[in-house]
Every structure is written in C-alpha cells, then in structure tokens.
Amino acid sequence: MKKFVFSILILVLIPFAASAEMVINKFDLTWSTDTYTPFDYSGRALPVAGSKIIVNAIVSASNGSPSNLKYSWFLEDIFQQNKSGYGKDSFYFYAQKNSGSFHTVRLQIFNEDRSIFEEQSIQIPITSPEIVVCPSSGNAHFSNQENKTYNLSSGEKFSLIARPYFFSANKLTDLKFEWTAPGQEPIISSEYDASVLNLKIEKKVPDVFKGNIWVNVTSKIEEAQKAFKSININIY
C-alpha cells in the first residue's frame, strides 16, 4: 500500500509599510515693500499707493518638500491664477488702495489629492508718504526732533533737513525736493544734498517777521506720490 505525504504550504502575508504622509509643521505669511526710509529709521517700511508689495509664504514640512505643494494666491478674494502654482511660495503686487485702508492677501496650500489643505490670510496696511523736517544742531549733524515753529535772529544762518518716509524710491536722488522760503527764489533739486536747506533771512521791518518755509517732495518713480510740510518761522 502506497503512502502519500501531504505538505501544507502556509503563506504568511507581510504588509508593505505605507509611505509617510507629508505633514505641515509651520505655515506663516510675511510681507515687505520697496518704500524709502532714512538709514537710521528702526521701524518698518510701509507701503503706499503705487508701491510694490511682496508676500512670502514660510512653510516647513516633514516627509516631503513644500515645493511639491500647490500655492493658490488670492488678492481681495480674487484668485491670482498667473501667480499661483506648484512651488510658487512668493507673490507680489502693486498697492492700489489709499492711506488708511489695507490690502488682504490669502493663500491656500495643498497637495494633489488635497489630503493636505492649509489656508492663511494677512492684512497689509497702506499709508501715505511723509516728511519730517528737523533743524541742524551744529555742523553736519541734524536733530531728529521736529518743531512746528523756529525763532531766529535777523541774518542768522540756519539749516533744515527734510527726512522723507514711504516714497517709492531707492535713494534720495529718486526724489525731487522743492523748498520755498520768504524772500527767496524756490529751490528745486534732486541732487544728493537736495533734502538740506541752508538759509539766512534778514527782516526788513522793525517788528517781528512771521512767515513760512515750505518743502514739497515728489517721487520721480511714482509722480503721484507727494508730500509737503510747512514750517513757521519768527524773525526777530
């Protein structure tokens, strides 16, 4: 009698480890603008109408690269198709709103199957160009303290400097300065020292002479950007 030996093959199924899903660890929006500020200004440059605003997405992720995500940018809830797409983590536009208002930028980031979806919004305040007029405090040094009125002796030499803020300009020579003082021809210049006015006014009346010095500043890059300041002077 023949004997049959049966062997049983047992298959053990070992599942393959699934690839880890990308995880967003950080997602923030930051912005900057191209407006001019004095070299010793420690604050933030602010945008004005016509200035360029750049918004950057700060994204960090685990198990994948943020460049593989799709970035959809919105300005005032209007989709910016030409500036959206995979890896497009930076967006720029030119401010169109007036001082006191703001632009709203929104960004959505997601992967192909939208198993990842994150959204952030940012509001960017719009201001207007400004001028601060400061007196000389001796030699080439100027004070940062602005006064509305200056009391001077007849024939006294004095200097003023107009410090511009928030113009679309890379340097002072991108700005046009126009100074007007009593009894003087207007001084219009875009030279490097155009922001400084050196004057000597002699009064022609026995009483105290009261007048004004005006300075107007215009951006040569964006001529609609202007600012002016009036300073009161009393000549004794």
CATH, residue 105? 2.60.40.10
Measured distance CA(232)–CA(151) in Å, rounded: 9
pLDDT band at residue 14 using 50, 70 and 90 as cut-offs: very low
Tell me the whole-structure pTM to 2 decimals: 0.81
Per-residue model confidence (pLDDT) at position 98: 93
Question: 168, 225 in Cβ contact below 8 A?
Answer: yes
pLDDT band at 227 (very low <50, low <70, confident <90, very high): very high
Q: Please, what is the average pLDDT of the chain?
A: 88
Q: Residues 110, 201: one domain?
A: no
Q: What is the pLDDT of residue 97?
A: 95
Which of 77, 99, 125 lies at the terminal end of a domain, its last residue? 125
Q: How far apart are CA 20 and CA 32, in angstroms?
A: 35
d(CA 221, CA 219): 5
* Per-residue confidence band for 7, with pLDDT thresholds at 50, 70 and 90: very low
Q: Residue 10 falls within a domain, yes or no?
A: no
Q: Report pLDDT digits (tens) over 51-63.
A: 999 999 999 999 9
Using the Cα atoms of residue 63, residue 65, residue 70 and residue 76 in order, give the sign of their dihedral.
Answer: positive
Q: Are residues 118 and 160 in the same domain?
A: no
Range of the domain at 36: 24-125
End position of a domain, from candidates 125, 147, 176: 125
Q: Are residues 120 and 147 in the same domain?
A: no
Counted domains in the chain? 2
Nearest to 182 by CA among 223, 225, 152: 152
Q: What pLDDT sits at residue 137?
A: 59
Mean pLDDT calculated for residue range 105-134: 95
Q: Are residues 90 and 183 in the same domain?
A: no
- Say whether both 77 and 143 belong to one domain: no
**Residue with more model confidence, 183 or 2:** 183
Asked whether the predicted pLDDT for residue 10 surpasses 80, the reply is: no
User: CA 42, CA 59: separation in Å to the nearest integer?
Assistant: 27
Query: What percent of the chain is helix, strand and coil (3-state, nearest 5)?
Result: 5, 50, 45
How confident is the model over 204-231, as a mean pLDDT? 92
Among 125, 150, 174, where does a domain finish? 125
Mean pLDDT score, 30-53: 95
